[in-house]
A and B are shown apart, each in its own frame.
Chain A
Amino acid sequence: MTDLSPLPETSRAAAVQEIRTPGGLKAWLVEDYAVPLVAVQFAFRGGASQDAADKPGVVTLLGGLLDEGAGPYDSGAFHEAMDDLAVHLHFSVDRDHFAGHFQTLTRNLDPAFELMRLAVNEARLEQGPIDRVVSQLVASLKRELKDPDAVASRMFRAAAFPGHPYGRAARGEIDTLGKISRDDLLAMRGRMLARDNLVIAVVGAIDAATLAEKLDATFGALPERAALAPVPPAVMSGVGERLVADIDVPQATIRFGRPGVERDDPDFMAAVVVNHILGGGAFTARLFREVREKRGLAYSVYSHLQNYDRAALVVGATSTKNERAAESLAVIQEQIVDLAENGPTEEELAKARKFLIGSYALRFDTSTKIAGNLMQLQLEGRPAAYLDQRNRLVAAVGLDDARRAAKKLLGDGRLLVALAGRPTGM
């Protein structure tokens, strides 16, 4: 199904320099001098799935603490130094990754990279900042205790991945966050921040030689190998279940989903196309038309493919007034079953392909977005050439492929459904 013959468009891959530093680090660089900025996005494989079952939140807490004092600077002095240089530096954590986001003006290149080096290697992890960030996480979790969106997604996650790291609270629990010690954080940093699980993408006004030197200084002293706990593959469970959390609000927030298609499945791109037809981001998707435009059942309704390293899902969400929640779900269910059984029409398929091909360019319009995409491709194990292959893969999805992928993705159409609100007539 894969036709890799060139389409008449400019090569994105050609702009990517794959560099290897004298210290042995690999990175992708796009040199661009239009704006005097440099953006770096990097990620360590690992993420919140490395938390112990009885102590969730360690990785997230670590992510909140690397810029809270490092090397010669305490927390306040470190933030003053960042402000003096107008550096953007923060860390984020998802299920499978611990990521760093950095942006600087080129005139502050040297001292800005030095701050990043300190955060990555010499974060102090002092008790004062630990207590503060824990209290901030606890407050944010408390705010979400009875928030319909948060309640529905917690319920969905727990039912989808019981006993698996993906079923845990990535940001920890209100009761256990306070038990995380400095030693827990040091141990996690030692296990996760290493060179063999690191990917780096850089976009902006910097040449390869200068960058190589900066990257070796920033990451070269990290341990060579990470010591990650294996995360078992998981197939989402709970399909066919319908869970309701009672919250006194006029609207029911609905999450739904079922197992998806893995990234390395030959039908993955066809599944992307099928999902776009079902509930993708445009105002032309089936769910948008049937739920919102025709019936006025909801403001927001969508579906997307959720691909973790060790699990694949197709998930969606909407919010409908309690009295019409059952009707909304019925419409969604009907569309899913129809797409699974009959596949998309030739016209739907053609339009979806056009959209996905044309919209790829909009992912590459700011330096931080370009760097983020280059980081993501490396995490997925794709070559830079994929930047040019991707649209050909979309173009190659035929009607038979889409039908097969729709069956694989949507199967018998049964869903795990989690509702928060006071839906009636369910």
Chain B
Amino acid sequence: MTVSSAAAPQPAAAAGAQGAAHAGPHIAHSRLDNGMEVVVIPDHRAPVVTHMVWYRNGSADDPPLKSGIAHFLEHLMFKGTKTHPQGEFSQLVADLGGQENAFTGHDYTSYFQRVPREHLGAMMEYEADRMTNLVLTDEVVAPERDVVLEERRMRTDSDPGAELSEAVQAALFAHHPYGTPIIGWGHEIETLGREDALAYYQRFYTPENAILVVAGDVEPADVEKLARETYGKIDARGAPPVRRRPQEPPARARRHVSLSDEKVEQPTYERVYVVPSARTAEPGEAEALEVMTHLLGAGQTSRLYKQLVVEKPVAVAAGAYYMSSSLDATRLWIYGVPAADVSLDDFDAAIDRVIEDFLANPPGDREFERAKTRLVADAVYAQDSQVALARWYGAALAIGETIEDVSGWSARIEAVTPEAVVAVARKWLDKRRAVTGYLLPEQAA
């Protein structure tokens, strides 16, 4: 029962389960009569199965004044139904030696269990049951709200770095709900109740809005039959729910956010740009952003690490990260930890120089091929984990991508040109689209 934001799955590694280097698993994709999508990813190495249901709603779909309701309901989904009272489902999973959990992102909410393959049908029966038959009483809702407040205290309110990141996101999105933390604002979580949770549940927990992903030692035809016998019995609601999200106006002003706290002994730095996602980008642009970000800031051969940490050390860490998997415009991070005698202003200027140099001296063939090799290889490594594959396909479909979008990813990365990489850097690494965050010790306030 967690929030996942930075940990959001990356098609980056997803991909190309069917890349040129190796023929990956054959993915089966179908739809039940009530509209629920079904995805099966065979993996016969161990007699286990990963069963996930994804709903196409996340914290960015929380109604006004109800921030945190998507995540709160995710917790409450473990409180039992008319037929299976609280604890029964979890006890069954535990009896099987299985694992279970759920997570909420900005764009989706997902529930999963991992069990021996012969128990897949039981998991589907219970998960289908709680799609429509959830029972909530004030007696279970009130302590769970305290649990969520403790979760917020643990993750954010006791950690100045997390508080800064929250402030940076809030500054980055003037209007779009990505600026609101997935877990919600504390003062609004405190007001969430049973009626709010049920209203949200009625609106979003429908077969039309759900995606079943099963990975493991199973055959697609068997899974589809079980799906018809469980999820297939749920009445269609007619149409999937509509997401109504305020969209972001054009960004015109560079913003700077700074947090000083007595608990901070080591200053850190982040700069976040709003950039197109896999869903909003022009064709090829998200892939070019992926390669560009890799060249700029992934690992020790990246420009940021080489120039700022190794060659003329002004930092002990520096890197970049692009979160392509997002329904609306997404984020690209540049981050770092300055060396002991370097101010954050000087580090900020040093990052600018790396970007200017990147544009003036774009990567040569070897550097460019190296980045692609690493990115495409990650798609092969991903095949080693059925959970990772299930998450990547589930997250992609939940934001409106297709199976082909995911399986064709390696080929599209291979097709990115050096010119496209420079073009996206020039176009999107625009400081007017960015917020810079400083985390500082108290005396420097």
Contacts and interface: CB of A to CB of B under 8 A. Distances in A.
Contacts of B45: 32, 34, 365
Nearest to B158: A249
B136 interface: no
Nearest to B305: A79
Interface stretch (A92-100, A194-202, A349-357): A349-357
Contacts of B116: 358, 361
Contacts of A284: 87, 90-91, 94
A75 interface: yes
Given A139-B266, A296-B145, A356 B374 contact: no
A174 B95 CA distance: 47
B95 A354 contact: yes
Contacts of B173: none
A320 interface: yes
A386 interface: no
A135 B263 contact: no
Given A135-B340, A139-B266, A296 B146 contact: yes
A248 B301 contact: no
Contact of B299 (A83, A142, A283, A298): A83
Contacts of B266: 139, 142-143, 145
Contact of B384 (A37, A75, A148, A356): A37
Interface in A340-387: 351, 354-362, 364-368
A135 B263 CA distance: 20
Given A36-B380, A83-B373, A135-B340, A282 B94 contact: yes
A410 B370 CA distance: 54
Contacts of B48: 361-362, 365
Nearest to B79: A293
B310 A105 contact: no
B91 A351 contact: yes
Interface in A3-48: 10, 32, 34-37, 39
Interface string A65-105: 00000000001100110011110100000000000000101
Contact of A283 (B94, B143, B377): B94
Interface stretch (B147-155, B241-249, B283-291, B415-423): B147-155
A365 B386 contact: yes
B95 A351 contact: yes
B282 interface: no
A250 B266 CA distance: 21
Given A86-B377, A321-B150, A358 B98 contact: yes
Interface in B303-334: 306, 309-310, 313, 316-317
Contacts, number: 183
B153 A250 contact: yes
A310 interface: no
Nearest to B377: A86
A214 interface: no
Interface string A100-128: 00010101000000000000000000001
Contacts of A148: 158
A139 B317 contact: yes
B283 to A, nearest CB: 26
Interface string A227-253: 000000000000000000001111101
Contacts of A360: 97
Contacts of B262: 146, 248
A294 B115 CA distance: 27
A334 B78 CA distance: 26
Contacts of B130: none
Interface residues on B, range: 35 or more
Given A132-B316, A142-B265, A296-B143, A362 B91 contact: no
B157 interface: yes
A88 B96 contact: no
Given A132-B313, A251-B157, A299 B147 contact: yes
Contacts of A225: none
Nearest to B99: A362
B380 A35 contact: yes
A366 B384 contact: yes
B158 A251 contact: yes
Contacts of B144: 296
A148 B157 CA distance: 11
Contact of B146 (A128, A297, A368): A297
Given A84-B373, A143-B265, A361 B97 contact: yes
A111 B48 CA distance: 34
> Which of B98, B151, B384 has most chain A Cβ within 10 Å?
B384
A389 interface: no
B143 A294 contact: yes
Contacts of B98: 358-359, 362
A296 B310 contact: no
Contact of B306 (A76, A135, A351): A76
A50 interface: no
Interface string B356-400: 000000000000001101101110110111110000000000000
Contacts of B78: 283
B404 interface: no
B188 to A, nearest CB: 17
B258 interface: no
12 contacts: A105-B377, A138-B316, A142-B265, A143-B161, A143-B266, A250-B153, A253-B158, A284-B94, A293-B143, A321-B153, A351-B94, A365-B46
Lowest 8 CB-CB distances: which A-B pairs, in order? A358-B97, A296-B146, A86-B377, A296-B143, A359-B97, A299-B151, A142-B266, A146-B263
Given A84-B373, A295-B146, A359-B99, 14 more contacts: A76-B310, A79-B299, A83-B373, A135-B339, A136-B316, A145-B265, A146-B265, A284-B87, A292-B147, A299-B147, A300-B154, A319-B154, A358-B96, A362-B48
